[in-house]
């Protein structure tokens, strides 16, 4: 059963803006088209509060007082998971007896509306955001956008399907165990699970307050970055809110180079649960990435898996119990049975259970961070298999557990993640089903992960959601990992030489042994010990000079530069491959009394012969 005939417009942000500027489209007509399409797709159970002009019209009318050029999301339609508040519209959490009418919108939702975005519906979800599959809702099972009989993924099921089926440019979900990532995979979307506290969860029904975050579904990394840029603001009334560090700011988003080192799970630790299609899709994804220049390094997944087990087998289930305590104690029959079965034991756990689990989590976090310390990111399958709705309903807990194998660990470790589609595989009914990978990095690596995902997205070039539209790829600047600075050294800082400790003690790692472009002259400058070289650019009489490139944590760059004595300094040095990096250079005054050693081709060669 296909929904392709119901698509209305290409809802990519840039294309909508172009249409608005040309006058080809106005928000009123766009929303009316979305309402018509949503009506035709009612049987997919995407919305709890479906789009209707009776409540959307005020948001459209407000755009008359807003300028398209100064409001970055002007006229952009978005959907909201129904555990996130929208003023004047009931919030249910997927439980009718829990519903309430919020007096104001969630902090992040209001930021988006202020930027010109138009809310068009409250979406279906696994009740109380407890589930990864999209079947645990009294409002009906939310069906997959590609195959009606398959699960859509959850708990942010409706939010994902709304974007995949052309009803929203972007949508908000939530993510505690993978709810913003599993549905992205199963519906061919970009799924951004931001760093905890980066987007305020004020106005969101808690699942696990210490682990929850608002997630974003889009059809492109560019659109996800724009939503993130608007939704990030420190919220003094939200206790888990965090400030945005410079290295994670939007100016550090772009297109990552393919010369990256990415961690992948050891082959014997991969689990696809007898799903040959996903195993093949993952293998093909790795082959393409290697062919495009990515370096893949196998790591031990066992500590990450143990962290994931803590989420539902440990005391964090008590956080879900706190949210639903009144319902469980006074109206338990109103809860979806399997949701109550999962949450109810959370009221029996002890404080000692929590402390023991926290001790183990801290130990595992150290191990996991060390395993990732020399990687640009970790890459996993987003899920190892998919299920029909019937299979999920027959074994709701066992099947759901399989879906979370690659996602449960991320929030507990305080990591960020981005899902990016890489394959469309042949389904059983002459259709295609999506497969994606998840990129995982440390807290506040959001822009860097989006930049890597942007590169991956450009390589695999899949359509947007389950539409015939091409993903909106813009011209992006090349970017490198903002948490580190590449430094070229050519003298006493080389490996094993007297000043190399200044790099080692600051956490720097050797990235590359390489020559400069053949446009430099090298001198031994006066002074010491230790003896130091002076590198001077001379495009007429220069030569290639042997050097090393070290990757230095950005927070330690200042203290490193502070120790560099005159006449040396840091400037830009051209490498033999044409790239430019920061590196040691010498002021002209430093050449007084210096000895030229250019003919030796490098500092080590001169030392060996002097």
**213 strand-pairing partners:** 175
User: Cβ contacts of residue 431 below 8 Å, gap of 6+?
Assistant: 2, 146, 147
Q: What is the CB neighbour count within 10 angstroms for residue 394?
A: 11
Helix (H, G, I), strand (E, B) or coil at 160: helix
Options 105, 137, 152, 155, the catalytic residue: 155
Task: Identify whether the C-beta of residue 409 lies closer than 8 Å to the C-beta of residue 297.
Answer: no
Burial annotation 156-180 (CB, 10 A radius, 16+ → b, else e): bbbbbbbbbbbbbbbbbbbbbbbbb
Active site residue 81: yes
Q: How far is CA 95 from CA 109, 205, 309, in A?
A: 21, 12, 27
Q: What is the CB neighbour count within 10 angstroms for residue 243?
A: 11
Burial annotation 18-55 (CB, 10 A radius, 16+ → b, else e): ebbeeeebebeebbbbbbebbeebeebbbbbbbbeeee
Task: Name the nearest CA neighbour of 436 among 447, 424, 448.
Answer: 424
Cα angle value 161/54/31 (rounded, 5°): 45
Options 81, 193, 483, 511, the catalytic residue: 81
Q: What is the CB neighbour count within 10 angstroms for residue 322?
A: 13
- HSE, side-chain direction, 13 A CA sphere, residue 392: 27
Characterize the bridge pairing of strands 484-489 and 478-479.
unpaired
**85 strand-pairing partners:** none
Characterize the bridge pairing of strands 509-515 and 546-553.
antiparallel
User: Cβ contacts of residue 24 below 8 Å, gap of 6+?
Assistant: none
Give the position of tokens 């023991």.
356
Burial annotation 85-100 (CB, 10 A radius, 16+ → b, else e): bbbebbbbbbbeebee
Active site residue 52: no
Helix (H, G, I), strand (E, B) or coil at 103: coil
Helix (H, G, I), strand (E, B) or coil at 255: strand
Question: How far apart, in Å, do the first and last CA atoms of the chain sit?
Answer: 78
Rounded Cα–Cα distance for residues 202 and 591 (Å):
61
Give the position of tokens 């309903």.
393
Q: How far is CA 480 from CA 198, 223, 477, 485, 554, in A?
A: 21, 20, 10, 9, 12
Helix (H) or strand (E) holding 303: helix 302-313
Task: Name the nearest CA neighbour of 84 among 141, 158, 188.
Answer: 158
Options 105, 179, 200, 318, the catalytic residue: 179
**Burial class of residue 367, CB neighbours in 10 A (0-12, 13-18, 19+):** middle
Helix (H, G, I), strand (E, B) or coil at 37: helix
Cα angle value 35/41/46 (rounded, 5°): 90
Tokens at 79, concatenated: 């959907």
Active site residue 155: yes
Task: Name the nearest CA neighbour of 516 among 531, 535, 533, 532.
Answer: 535
Which residues are tagged catalytic? 81, 155, 179
């Amino acid at each position: 059963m296909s929904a392709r005939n119901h698509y209305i417009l290409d809802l990519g942000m840039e294309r909508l803006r172009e249409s608005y500027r040309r006058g080809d489209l106005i928000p009123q007509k766009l929303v009316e088209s979305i309402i018509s399409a949503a009506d035709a797709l009612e049987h997919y159970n995407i919305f709890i509060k479906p789009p209707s002009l009776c409540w959307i019209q005020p948001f459209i009318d407000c755009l008359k007082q807003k300028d398209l050029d100064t409001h970055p999301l002007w006229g952009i339609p978005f959907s909201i998971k129904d555990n996130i508040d929208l003023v004047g519209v009931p919030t249910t959490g997927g439980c009718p007896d829990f519903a309430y009418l919020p007096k104001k919108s969630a902090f992040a939702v209001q930021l988006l509306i202020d930027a010109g975005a138009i809310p068009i519906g409250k979406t279906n979800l696994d009740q109380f955001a407890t589930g990864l599959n999209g079947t645990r809702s009294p409002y009906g099972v939310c069906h997959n956008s590609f195959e009606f009989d398959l699960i859509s993924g959850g708990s942010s099921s409706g939010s994902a399907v709304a974007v995949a089926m052309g009803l929203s440019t972007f949508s908000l979900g939530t993510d505690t165990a993978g709810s913003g990532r599993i549905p992205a995979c199963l519906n061919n979307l970009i799924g951004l699970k931001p760093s905890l506290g980066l987007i305020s969860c004020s106005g969101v029904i808690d699942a696990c307050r210490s682990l929850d975050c608002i997630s974003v579904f889009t059809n492109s990394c560019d659109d996800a970055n724009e939503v993130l840029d608007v939704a990030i603001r420190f919220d003094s009334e939200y206790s888990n809110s965090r400030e945005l560090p410079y290295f994670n700011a939007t100016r550090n988003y772009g297109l990552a180079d393919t010369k990256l080192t990415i961690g992948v799970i050891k082959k014997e630790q991969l689990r696809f649960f007898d799903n040959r299609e996903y195993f093949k899709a993952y293998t093909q994804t790795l082959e393409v990435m290697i062919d495009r220049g990515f370096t893949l390094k196998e790591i031990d997944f066992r500590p990450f898996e143990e962290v994931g087990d803590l989420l539902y087998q440990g005391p964090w289930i008590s956080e879900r119990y706190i949210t639903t305590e009144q319902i469980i104690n006074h109206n338990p029959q109103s809860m979806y049975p399997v949701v109550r079965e999962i949450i109810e034991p959370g009221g029996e756990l002890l404080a000692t259970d929590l402390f023991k689990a926290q001790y183990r989590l801290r130990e595992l976090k150290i191990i996991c961070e060390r395993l990732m310390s020399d990687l640009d990111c970790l890459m996993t399958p987003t899920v190892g298999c998919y299920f029909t709705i019937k299979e999920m309903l027959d074994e709701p807990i066992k099947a759901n557990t399989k879906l979370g194998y690659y996602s449960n660990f991320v929030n507990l470790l305080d990591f960020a993640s981005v899902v990016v589609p890489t394959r469309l595989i042949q389904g059983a009914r002459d259709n295609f089903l999506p497969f994606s990978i998840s990129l995982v990095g440390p807290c506040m690596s959001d822009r860097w992960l989006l930049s890597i995902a942007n590169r991956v997205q450009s390589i695999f070039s899949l359509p947007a959601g389950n539409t015939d539209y091409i993903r909106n790829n813009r011209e992006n600047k090349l970017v490198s990992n903002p948490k580190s600075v590449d430094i070229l050294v050519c003298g006493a800082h080389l490996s094993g030489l007297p000043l190399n400790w200044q790099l080692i003690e600051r956490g720097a790692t050797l990235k590359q042994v390489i020559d400069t472009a053949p446009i430099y002259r090298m001198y031994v400058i006066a002074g010491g010990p230790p003896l130091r070289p002076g590198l001077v650019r001379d495009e007429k009489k220069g030569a290639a000079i042997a050097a090393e490139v070290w990757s230095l944590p950005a927070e330690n760059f200042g203290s490193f530069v502070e120790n560099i004595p005159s006449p040396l300094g840091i400037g830009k040095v051209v490498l033999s491959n044409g790239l430019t990096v920061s590196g040691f250079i010498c002021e002209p005054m430093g050449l007084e009394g210096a000895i030229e050693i250019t003919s030796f081709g490098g500092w080590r060669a001169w030392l060996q012969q002097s």
